[in-house]
Amino acid sequence: MKVIVTTSLGMDGHLVQKAKRLAEDLGIVYCERRKQAVKVLLKQADAVLVVYKDRLVFEQKEGRKLFFHPDTAMLRIKSGRDPILELLGKEKQSIIDCTMGLGSDSIVLASAGHRVTALESSKLVHFIVSRGLQDFDSGLQEVNRAMKSIQTIWTDSLTYLKEQIDKSVDVIYFDPMFSEEIKESQNLSGLAGLADRSRLTEEIVSEAKRVARKKLIIKAHFRDQVFEEFGFKRHVRPNQKFHYGEIILEEEV
């Protein structure tokens, strides 16, 4: 995928320098905006990373956009109840989120006081979301603290897990891309072409069982057979398009 970096239309010298530094960090080409519309720039590239003063927006053809915003996580936090937190209980845990994506699950976990390490295999997704976690002002101090507390790592989950010692973390969480598209999830459309769509494997699950002390948790489409395939106990959520599952490694006393 050919990607170029440019600035928003309302740019100044500082923003241009920021965009050039980002392009250098990512190893991609910087292109002067020159009042051109993004759709014009998309004629010479597959995608454009637009640098604004307060955010990064990754624009692809067909109008798909990817940018960081914790709106989904904030709604879940405000609800006061979340199925993943119910599976974890009240004790604070150390958690590896093997599929960071847009960061919603990691933010919800961190907001409850859990220590979260979030892994993301896409360099661009990791770059945009990790910057957002550090820089975005949600207007809520507790959410800002939660976002900043998340350790993000650009890596694939199998490589990372293989480097960890036995029973070194409490919980390992997976949220692989759904085997069936959920059309209502507009915020996921921006991940098209970037997200890792590889399925869970026996090797990854085996490594996760070695590294985790207490349990593995997965979220997947309700029609996905990943629960039965790898031995996750499915927690059915009536009228919901995705379910959670868990493999308990250590029974709570």
Rounded to 5 degrees, what angle do the CA atoms 82, 86, 87 make? 120
Paired sense of beta strands 212-221 and 242-248, if any = antiparallel
What is the set of domains in the chain, with CATH numbers?
A: 3-66 (3.40.50.10480), 71-248 (3.40.50.150)
**How far apart are alpha carbons 70 and 78 in whole angstroms?**
12
Using an 8 Å Cβ cutoff, are 205 and 216 in contact? yes
Confidence of residue 193 (pLDDT cuts 50, 70, 90): low
Convert the pLDDT of each residue in 40-51 to its tens digit.
999 989 999 999
**How far apart are alpha carbons 27 and 3 in whole angstroms?**
10
**How far apart are alpha carbons 39 and 41 in whole angstroms?**
5
Using an 8 Å Cβ cutoff, are 103 and 132 in contact? yes
Q: Which residue has the higher pLDDT, 134 or 188?
A: 134
**How far apart are alpha carbons 94 and 97 in whole angstroms?**
10
**How far apart are alpha carbons 164 and 170 in whole angstroms?**
13
Dihedral over Cα of 240, 158, 74, 52: its sign: negative
Convert the pLDDT of each residue in 163-172 to its tens digit.
999 999 999 9
Q: Which residue has the higher pLDDT, 215 or 186?
A: 215
Q: What long-range pairs does 196-204 form, CB within 8 A, spacing at least 24?
A: 196/99, 196/121, 196/122, 196/156, 199/226, 200/174, 200/176, 200/226, 200/229, 200/230, 201/158, 202/230, 203/158, 204/98, 204/157, 204/158, 204/161
Paired sense of beta strands 94-97 and 65-67, if any = unpaired
Q: Based on C-alpha coordinates, what's the Rg of the chain?
A: 19
Please state the pTM of the whole predicted model. 0.89
Convert the pLDDT of each residue in 73-120 to its tens digit.
999 999 988 999 999 999 999 999 999 999 999 999 999 999 999 999
pLDDT mean across residues, the chain: 89
pLDDT at position 188: 53
The average pLDDT across 146-169 equals: 97
Confidence of residue 185 (pLDDT cuts 50, 70, 90): very low
Q: Which residue has the higher pLDDT, 190 or 186?
A: 190
